[in-house]
Structure 1
Amino acid sequence: MDFTPTEEQRAASELAAEIFGDLSTPERLAGLGTAADAELWKALCAAGLPGAVEETGLLGLALLLEEQGRTTAQVPFAATCVYGLVAIGAHGSAEQRARLLPGLRAGESVATGAFPARRGGVRTETGAEAGVGTEAGTGAATVAGARADGTARLTGAVPVVPWLREATHVLVPDASRTLWLVRTDDAGVRREPVETTAPWSAARLSLDGASGERLGGADAYPGTLAAARTAFAALQAGVCAGSLARAVSHTTTREQFGRPLSTNQGVLLRAADAYMDTEAIRVTAYEAAWRYDARLPCTAHALTAAWWASEAGKRVVHTGQHLHGGIGADVDHPVHRHFLWGRQLDAHLGSGSQLLEELGDLMASGVNDVSEAYEASEGQA
Structure 2
Amino acid sequence: MDFTPTPEQTAARELAARIFGDLSTPERLATCGTGTDAALWKALCAAGLPGAAEETGLLGLVLMLEEQGRTTAQVPFAATCVYGLLAIGAHGSPEQRARLLPPLRDGEAVATGAFPARRGGVRSERAADGTGRLTGTVPVVPWLREATHVLVPDGTTRTLWLVRTDAPGVRRDPVETTAPWSAGRLTLEDAPAETIANPGPAPDPYADTLALARTAFAGLQAGVCAGSLARAVSHTTTREQFGRPLAANQGVQLRAADAHMDTEAIRVTAYEAAWRRDAGLDAGPHALTAAWWAAEAGTRVVHSGQHLHGGIGADLDHPVHRHFLWGRQVAGYLGAGGEVLDELGELLTTGRHPDAGERSPDEAR
Q: Same fold (TM over 0.5)?
A: yes
8 A Cα contact 2:136 2:189, kept in partner: yes
Paired amino acid for 1:360: G
Say which SS state the counterpart of residue 144 (structure 2) adopts.
coil
Say which SS state the counterpart of residue 357 (structure 2) adopts.
helix
Say which SS state the counterpart of residue 282 (structure 2) adopts.
coil
Matched, 1:280 2:265: yes
Q: TM-score, normalised by structure 1?
A: 0.92
8 A Cα contact 1:152 1:211, kept in partner: yes
2:138 pairs with 158, 175, 187, which one?
158
Deviations 1:207-245 (A, max 9, x none): 001111000157100000000000000000000000000
| Structure 1 portions without partners, runs of 5+ | 117-131
Q: In the alignment, which residue of structure 2 is the partner of 1:253?
A: 238
Q: Give distance in 1, aligned partners of 2:83 and 2:231.
A: 31
Deviations 1:94-127 (A, max 9, x none): 00000000000000000000002xxxxxxxxxxx
Mapping of 1:1-381 within 5 angstroms? 1-116=1-116, 132=117, 134=118, 138-144=119-125, 146-174=126-154, 175-216=156-197, 219-367=204-352, 373-375=356-358
Q: Give distance in 1, aligned partners of 2:171 and 2:359.
A: 36
Q: Give distance in 1, aligned partners of 2:351 and 2:46.
A: 46
Deviations 1:159-178 (A, max 9, x none): 00000000000000002100
Deviations 1:254-306 (A, max 9, x none): 01111110000000000000000000000000000000111101100000000
The Cα shift of 1:363 comes to 1.3
The Cα shift of 1:376 comes to 8.7
Say which SS state the counterpart of residue 172 (structure 1) adopts.
strand
Q: Give distance in 2, aligned partners of 1:291 and 1:319.
A: 31
The Cα shift of 1:187 comes to 1.1
8 A Cα contact 2:299 2:327, kept in partner: yes
| Structure 2 portions without partners, runs of 5+ | none
The list of structure 1 runs, each at least 4 consecutive aligned residues, that deviate by more than 4 angstroms after superposition, is 375-378
Paired amino acid for 1:215: I
Deviations 1:136-195 (A, max 9, x none): xx4111112x21211001000000000000000000000210000000000110000010
Q: Give distance in 2, aligned partners of 1:311 and 1:353.
A: 9
Q: Give distance in 2, aligned partners of 1:235 and 1:221.
A: 21
% identical equivalent positions: 76
Paired residues, number: 356
Say which SS state the counterpart of residue 236 (structure 1) adopts.
helix
Q: Give distance in 2, aligned partners of 1:3 and 1:23.
A: 28
Q: TM-score, normalised by structure 2?
A: 0.96
8 A Cα contact 2:158 2:357, kept in partner: no
Q: Give distance in 2, aligned partners of 1:256 and 1:199.
A: 34
Q: Give distance in 2, aligned partners of 1:113 and 1:366.
A: 27
8 A Cα contact 1:274 1:319, kept in partner: yes
Q: Give distance in 1, aligned partners of 2:248 and 2:192.
A: 61
The Cα shift of 1:366 comes to 2.1
Paired amino acid for 2:357: Y
